[in-house]
């Protein structure tokens, strides 16, 4: 037991703010919340507890719906009915009506802050601090979206004149959106697509990720109370079996998916008319860091540790491979080892904890196999004291140096607390790696020489979509564009870009002659249209 003390708690030792939740997951379809009529599967927490016998076990914290194809199709049909081929109450509503509804939704979601954060902690082992940050960032995202949409609405309310034509150009919704967020940000990243989709007038089906499912139950009443029936439908089930039929039937117009590229490809290819099946996708990434010989090694090491190991490295924006110039490799790796050894490993409610349990039970074996393979190919563990230790679902971060570029650790997205390090002679090796990589999200460059950095920027800007100078990779602030090249993304997310991603420009045009002017004026002055309108949302 002694090696476990301080890391694992008994149920009685869990502090009050973190008390174990229990949720029996329900679904929302067509404005009705249902608690029966479907199969469910248990949800087991990755956070281990010590029992009276000293053994570790993982508590069951609830159940989640496990819908079949037919039941999932019901949710899609409910969204299609609310869309009603574009004639539904929601897609034709004035922007100010939708804004008011989303504002009320936000107020009701705020009341669920405590349970949502607690569920993020128990279900995906997000630290209490990070769980609260995820919640608060999402509320901020909602606020920013509402402000951005008001500005967009103001811009679109102008009548434009050109070449004898008068026109009003607005952004109109696309149809039914299928929103699927990832397990690492199940609340934030789903809302980052769902809210823009809704505010632009689309209807939606939300399918929860593999982990991070229970929080949706806490939100059902809020959605039911604030939006017309069928505008949002919230369900769960095995994506592998339930999604394809509705895609094949052409019932989904937009796929908003944050996850893996093979899954995204499979879903997209299932659509009968791919040209009008829009994808808003955040996918795989293998963001590299480059440490130049003149880099400030303290800054580089501290940013690389945060960049590669925040939330156990389970971020699409995590640094997933580090290239360090040979002349500074030893001191850099030494600083990394020292910083990693200081990271506190434990349960997500413990103060100051950084490394927490891994939600996917299959991941521990995968990480071990990647590290073993790299070591067999000549790599070495830089932190053998603790690197790779496993207790329950905790994995102590491994720093692996001398990683061969043809190993899985260099080519696959590990999505976990393993940091591959490659020592290079010339930056050409890094550039070649990036050019031949199938991923293209972000990178971090650490150095001081403006000429060298300028040259790298010019080349690398055509390979990735964000270059971070002397800083880790990250998505935020959310007003900045978040996207990627190659296998890493389709479409762009940011507060404003997302509004465009979930809409299409649609315009009303008339000849700029007396009868055209008169007709437009009559429609405007009589307030006969929600679309052709100069009404401004304040």
**Contacts of residue 236, Cβ cutoff 8 Å, sequence gap at least 6:** 25, 27, 64, 65, 66, 67, 207, 208, 213, 216
Sign of the Cα pseudo-torsion (109, 113, 117, 119, in order): negative
Residue whose CB is less far from ligand G3H, 185 or 216? 185
Q: According to the binding rule CB under 6 A, does residue 83 interact with ligand G3H?
A: no
> Is 219:49 a contact under the CB 8 Å cutoff?
no
Q: How far is the CB of 270 from ligand G3H (least distance, A)?
A: 25
Backbone angles phi, psi at 212, to 5 degrees: 80, 45
Q: How far is the CB of 482 from ligand G3H (least distance, A)?
A: 7
- Total residues at interface with ligand G3H (CB under 6 A): 9
Residue whose CB is less far from ligand G3H, 106 or 315? 315
> Is 77:216 a contact under the CB 8 Å cutoff?
no
Contacts with ligand G3H, 456-495, as mask; x by CB under 6 A: ------------------xxx-------------------
Place of tokens 């437009």: 520
CB atoms within 10 A of CB 209: 22
CA-to-CA separations, 536 to 54, 156, 525, in angstroms, rounded: 65, 9, 14
Residue 454 burial (C-beta neighbours within 10 Å; 0-12, 13-18, 19+): exposed
Residue whose CB is less far from ligand G3H, 168 or 474? 474
Q: How far is the CB of 77 from ligand G3H (least distance, A)?
A: 31
Residue whose CB is less far from ligand G3H, 189 or 217? 189
Residue whose CB is less far from ligand G3H, 9 or 363? 363
Options 64, 317, 411, 492; binder of ligand G3H; rule CB under 6 A: 317
Q: According to the binding rule CB under 6 A, does residue 316 interact with ligand G3H?
A: yes
Q: How far is the CB of 185 from ligand G3H (least distance, A)?
A: 5
Q: According to the binding rule CB under 6 A, does residue 415 interact with ligand G3H?
A: no
Question: Pseudo-torsion of CA 214, 215, 220, 223, nearest 10°?
Answer: -150
Q: According to the binding rule CB under 6 A, does residue 185 interact with ligand G3H?
A: yes
Residue whose CB is less far from ligand G3H, 184 or 202? 184
Tokens of 248: 């094949």
Q: How far is the CB of 133 from ligand G3H (least distance, A)?
A: 9
Sign of the Cα pseudo-torsion (239, 319, 278, 199, in order): positive
Buried b (16+ CB within 10 A) or exposed e, 128-158: bebbbebbebbeebbebbbebbbebbeebee
Tokens of 32: 């009705």
First and final CA of the chain: distance in angstroms?
Answer: 62
Residue whose CB is less far from ligand G3H, 25 or 196? 196
Q: According to the binding rule CB under 6 A, does residue 184 interact with ligand G3H?
A: yes
| Alpha-carbon gap, residue 18 to 117, rounded angstroms | 9
Q: How far is the CB of 381 from ligand G3H (least distance, A)?
A: 26
Q: How far is the CB of 475 from ligand G3H (least distance, A)?
A: 3
Q: How far is the CB of 518 from ligand G3H (least distance, A)?
A: 51
Question: Pseudo-torsion of CA 147, 149, 151, 157, nearest 10°?
Answer: -150
Residue whose CB is less far from ligand G3H, 314 or 325? 314
Query: Which residue from 313, 343, 339 is spatially nearest to 417, judged by alpha carbons?
Result: 313
Q: How far is the CB of 476 from ligand G3H (least distance, A)?
A: 5
Q: How far is the CB of 442 from ligand G3H (least distance, A)?
A: 9
Q: How far is the CB of 478 from ligand G3H (least distance, A)?
A: 8
Q: According to the binding rule CB under 6 A, does residue 287 interact with ligand G3H?
A: no
Residue whose CB is less far from ligand G3H, 255 or 319? 319
Contacts with ligand G3H, 2-21, as mask; x by CB under 6 A: --------------------
Alpha helices in 310-423 (DSSP H): 326-342, 361-376, 408-411
Kindly report the CA angle at 380 between 375 and 384, in degrees rounded to 5? Answer: 115
Q: According to the binding rule CB under 6 A, does residue 442 interact with ligand G3H?
A: no
What is the bridge-based pairing of β-strands 394-395 and 390-391? antiparallel
Residue whose CB is less far from ligand G3H, 277 or 502? 502
Residue whose CB is less far from ligand G3H, 98 or 475? 475
Q: How far is the CB of 259 from ligand G3H (least distance, A)?
A: 10
**Backbone region of residue 176 per phi and psi (left: phi > 0; alpha: psi in -120 to 50; beta: other values):** beta
Interface region with ligand G3H, contact rule CB under 6 A, candidates 98-106, 119-127, 313-321, 430-438? 313-321
Residue whose CB is less far from ligand G3H, 189 or 497? 189
Q: How far is the CB of 211 from ligand G3H (least distance, A)?
A: 14
| Alpha-carbon gap, residue 155 to 171, rounded angstroms | 11
Residue whose CB is less far from ligand G3H, 343 or 524? 343
Alpha helices in 343-467 (DSSP H): 361-376, 408-411, 427-436, 450-460
Q: How far is the CB of 415 from ligand G3H (least distance, A)?
A: 9
> Is 241:69 a contact under the CB 8 Å cutoff?
yes
| Alpha-carbon gap, residue 488 to 465, rounded angstroms | 10
Residue whose CB is less far from ligand G3H, 51 or 476? 476
Place of tokens 């103060």: 351
Residues lying near ligand G3H in the complex (CB under 6 A)? 184-185, 189, 315-317, 474-476
């Amino acid at each position: 037991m002694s090696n476990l003390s301080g890391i694992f708690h008994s149920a009685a030792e869990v502090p009050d703010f973190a008390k174990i939740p229990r949720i029996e997951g329900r679904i929302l379809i067509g404005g009705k919340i249902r608690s029966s009529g479907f199969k469910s599967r248990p949800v087991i927490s990755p956070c281990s507890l010590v029992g009276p016998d000293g053994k570790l076990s993982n508590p069951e914290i609830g159940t989640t719906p496990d819908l079949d194809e037919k039941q999932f199709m019901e949710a899609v049909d409910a969204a299609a009915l609310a869309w009603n081929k574009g004639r539904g109450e929601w897609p034709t509503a004035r922007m100010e009506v939708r804004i008011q509804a989303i504002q009320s939704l936000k107020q009701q979601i705020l009341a669920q802050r405590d349970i949502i954060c607690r569920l993020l902690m128990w279900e995906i082992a997000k630290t209490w601090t990070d769980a609260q940050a995820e919640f608060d960032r999402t509320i901020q995202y909602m606020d920013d979206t509402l402000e951005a949409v008001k500005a967009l609405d103001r811009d679109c309310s102008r009548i434009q004149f050109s070449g004898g034509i008068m026109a009003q150009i607005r952004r109109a919704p696309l149809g039914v959106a299928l929103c699927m967020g990832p397990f690492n940000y199940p609340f934030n990243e789903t809302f980052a697509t769902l809210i823009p989709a809704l505010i632009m007038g689309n209807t939606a089906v939300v399918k929860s990720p593999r982990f991070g499912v229970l929080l949706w139950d806490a939100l059902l009443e809020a959605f039911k109370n604030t939006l017309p029936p069928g505008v949002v439908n919230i369900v769960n089930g095995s994506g592998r079996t339930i999604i394809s039929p509705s895609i094949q039937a052409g019932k989904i117009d937009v796929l908003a998916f944050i996850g893996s590229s093979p899954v995204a490809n499979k879903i997209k290819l299932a659509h009968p008319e791919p040209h009008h099946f829009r994808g808003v996708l955040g996918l795989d990434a293998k963001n590299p860091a480059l440490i130049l010989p003149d880099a400030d090694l303290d800054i580089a090491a501290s940013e690389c540790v945060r960049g590669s190991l925040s939330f156990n490295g389970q971020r699409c924006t995590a640094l997933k491979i580090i290239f360090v110039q040979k002349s500074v490799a030893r001191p850099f790796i030494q600083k990394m080892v020292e910083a990693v050894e200081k990271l506190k490993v434990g349960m997500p409610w413990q103060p100051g904890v950084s490394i927490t349990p891994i939600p996917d039970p299959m991941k521990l074996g995968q990480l071990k196999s990647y590290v073993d393979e790299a070591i067999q190919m000549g790599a070495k563990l830089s932190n053998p004291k603790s690197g790779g230790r496993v207790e329950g679902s905790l994995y102590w971060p491994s720093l692996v140096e001398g990683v061969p570029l043809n190993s899985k650790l260099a080519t696959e997205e590990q999505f976990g607390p393993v940091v591959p390090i490659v020592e290079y002679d010339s930056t050409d090796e890094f550039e070649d790696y990036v050019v031949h990589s199938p991923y293209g999200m972000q990178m971090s460059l650490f150095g001081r020489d403006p000429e060298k950095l300028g040259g790298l920027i010019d080349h690398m800007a055509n390979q990735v979509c964000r270059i971070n100078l002397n800083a880790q990779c990250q998505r935020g602030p959310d007003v900045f564009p978040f996207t990627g090249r190659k296998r890493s993304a389709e479409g762009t997310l940011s507060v404003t870009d997302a509004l465009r991603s979930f809409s299409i420009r649609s315009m009303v045009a008339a000849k700029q002659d007396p009868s055209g002017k008169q007709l437009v004026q009559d429609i405007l002055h009589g307030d006969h249209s929600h679309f052709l309108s100069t009404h401004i949302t304040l």
